[in-house]
Structure 1
Amino acid sequence: MERESKIYVSGHRGLVGSAIVRRLEEKGYNNIIYRTHKELDLTNQEEVRRFFEVEKPEYVFLAAAKVGGINANNAYPADFIYENLMIECNVIKSAHDFNVKKLLFLGSTCIYPKLCNQPIKEEYLLTGALEPTNEAYAVAKIAGLEMCKFFKRQYGDNFISCMPTNLYGPNDNFDLNNSHVLPALIRKFHEAKVDKSPFVEVWGTGKPLREFLYVDDMADGCVFLMENYNGEEHVNIGTGEEVSIGELAELVKEAVGYEGNIAFNTEMPDGTPRKLCDVSKLYEMGWSHRVELREGIQMAYESYLDVLVDGI
């Protein structure tokens, strides 16, 4: 990419897209375009084709997606699979039809089998059954990865994919009904601190192990891949480090300054027991994460406090 290249970042208001925009601007890319959902409905094929025909982006970061935590994925599986498939099909096909030079598609850790060997290598994709609680979203994301692979194989399109691990940071979703575990914990502990509640309920046993990547590190990895990688196989982006949900809750408690107790609700599902990415492929290319979890949680909490004035 050249500094003046026309770059389209879909989902620019979300956690992932906004971080990619920040990183591109930091690196001096000065021709970034984006549209809100009201301006461009990515599930509408005609609108997407018209956008690509008129704007003619040279590079595309496909970061737009319908996302949510366990509760949302369980409650709305049809919405998750339909909306994500439509977004991917429309953007990838239009990128092909209107001669986009390069496209980066972002997957999700849920694409891998529930009981996958650890740490998870890229080649473990499609080697076992998925986690039932987010199967619909996972199937849609797998389809996006495979579309990029097959468009590259059949037509020679330079469409690549990456698989970020669990993300957190500025512009996260803190809605308790459909957010992921870390932002949900930040909000729960903050509200418990304000309300002087004696305990905070954490779903599950606290035993599952998870990997967390600060979103600005993820964005740096995405831009690095766009600048340096042209392979057919997707690439994991993560830290290669894991923490239990119980340990994560303690770190959030510390960052928030909450002095009560933690109560685990074992009636709620744990999800996949362990999800640790093998990030050796990306690290061997010369990239590595910079923000460690304790520091990242503190920054994420500060970003939550910043948006409280606007309501959630």
Structure 2
Amino acid sequence: MDSDKRIFVAGHRGMVGSAIVRELERRGYGNILTRSRDELDLLDQRVVRAFLESNEIDEVYLAAARVGGIHANNTYPADFIYQNLMIEANIIHAAHESGVDRLLFLGSSCIYPKHADQPMREDALLTGTLEPTNEPYAIAKIAGIKLCESYNRQHGRDYRSVMPTNLYGPNDNFHPENSHVIPALIRRFHEAAESNADEVGVWGSGKPMREFLHVDDMAAASVHVMELDGETYRAHTDPMLSHINVGTGVDCTIRELAETVAKVTGFKGRLTWDTTKPDGTPRKLMDVSRLRALGWEASIGLEEGLRDAYQWFLENRGNIRS
């Protein structure tokens, strides 16, 4: 590794971006560039290109994105597809024009068809219909994968893509409506425990199965993939199918997840299930054999990770958006 290389982490204030910064610092990288939204508007093609050209960047981690749970995706579909398309197109194209040879694009497991065979392999991409509740976001992420593959094929770049499963951990979004399932449950159960509530309502039937990955594991996997030499990376991918799944390879039901969150937060009441709310995809489990063959596996168990996420929530709840 070259600890002096200039690395730009786009989206460093988000859950994934901040974890990548921590992991890079832990590994001894000392020249990490970050910019807030006020300092660099990633939706503005001109300013993105000027930034990358003027700072002589060696590597880019593209962790910036508009993200949210089922409610947010259903409510703001235009925002999700437009903003994610613009962010990734601006950064990837500007990186190429500025001579950045290596870039890592972070996608999402929602790129796979709603009824993809489980566990989902990388070659399931574009083989079926997407889950309707997050289709705009998924299409944007698929476009990001294809942007990377296309710049590699046409221009000889080394732009890589990793597709994480459902993430959680420090710096997550704990908004009561627009967050993903784990932060939403943590906040709901915590507030119920504080108020001595008798019950907590949870969306859906509790039957869908999901895989969850702590964001620190995701960051470690991302840097691991980025540090691989080109020959090793290409030996486990394909020019037309170059993305890599990142997950634990283990899933659980939403009911089991909710019961574990209740345990972690100290909630003693009962759970009720609102079956009028959508369940989303029946099951989403990643096939992570490609990543394991490249020498990386997750190390943070679900309950351990939930306790870490809850502790971060407790320490930062004064600054969390209501």
Q: TM-score range by the shorter chain?
A: over 0.9
Cross-structure match for 1:291: 300
1:48 aligns with 2:48: yes
Q: Does 1:249 align with 2:279?
A: no
Two-structure CA RMSD over aligned residues (Å): 0.8
- Cα separation, 2, equivalents of 1:220 and 1:310: 27
CA distance in 1, matches of 2:180, 2:196: 24
Q: Show CA shifts across 1:237-286 (max 9, x none).
A: 00000000000000000000111110000000000000000000001111
Q: Give the share of equivalent positions with the same residue, in percent.
A: 56
Shift, 1:308, TM fit: 1.3
Q: How far off is 1:195 after superposition? A: 1.3
Q: 1:21 to 1:257 in 2, by over 3 A?
A: same
2:319 is the alignment partner of 1:310: yes
Q: Helix, strand or coil: the match of 1:68?
A: coil
Q: Deviations over 1:169-214 (max 9, x none)?
A: 0000000111000110000000001111111110000000000000
TM superposition shift of 1:310? 2.5
Tell me, yes or no, if structure 1 residue 25 matches structure 2 residue 25.
Answer: yes
Match of 1:143 in 2: 143
Alignment of 1:156-167 (within 5 A): 156-167=156-167
Q: Which amino acid aligns with 2:315?
A: D
State the match for 1:65 in structure 2. 65
Provide the TM-score with structure 2 as the length reference.
0.96
Q: Which residue is equivalent to 2:209? A: 209
SS in 1 for 2:135: helix
Q: Is the 8 A contact 2:24 2:223 kept in 1?
A: yes
**What residue in structure 1 maps to residue 75 of structure 2?**
75
Gapped runs of 5+ residues in structure 2?
Answer: none
Where 2:149 maps in the other structure, the secondary structure is helix
What is the CA–CA distance in structure 2 between the aligned matches of 1:101 and 1:135, rounded to whole Å? 30
> How does 1:1-312 map onto structure 2 within 5 Å?
1-228=1-228, 229-230=233-234, 231=237, 232=239, 233-312=242-321
Aligned-partner SS, 1:201: strand
Give the distance between the partners of 1:221 and 1:53, measured in 2 at CA: 28
TM-score after normalising by structure 1: 0.99
Task: Tell me the distance in 1 between the aligned counterparts of 2:315 and 2:11.
Answer: 21
Q: Secondary structure at the residue paired with 1:127?
A: coil
Instruction: Number of aligned residue pairs: give it.
Output: 312
Which residue type is aligned with residue 282 of structure 1?
L
The separation in 2 between residues aligned to 1:59 and 1:206, in whole angstroms, is: 41
Deviation of residue 311 (structure 1)? 4.1
Runs of 4+ in 1 over 6 A off after TM superposition: none
In 1, Cα distance between equivalents of 2:320 and 2:153: 47
- Structure 1, unmatched stretches of 5+, are none
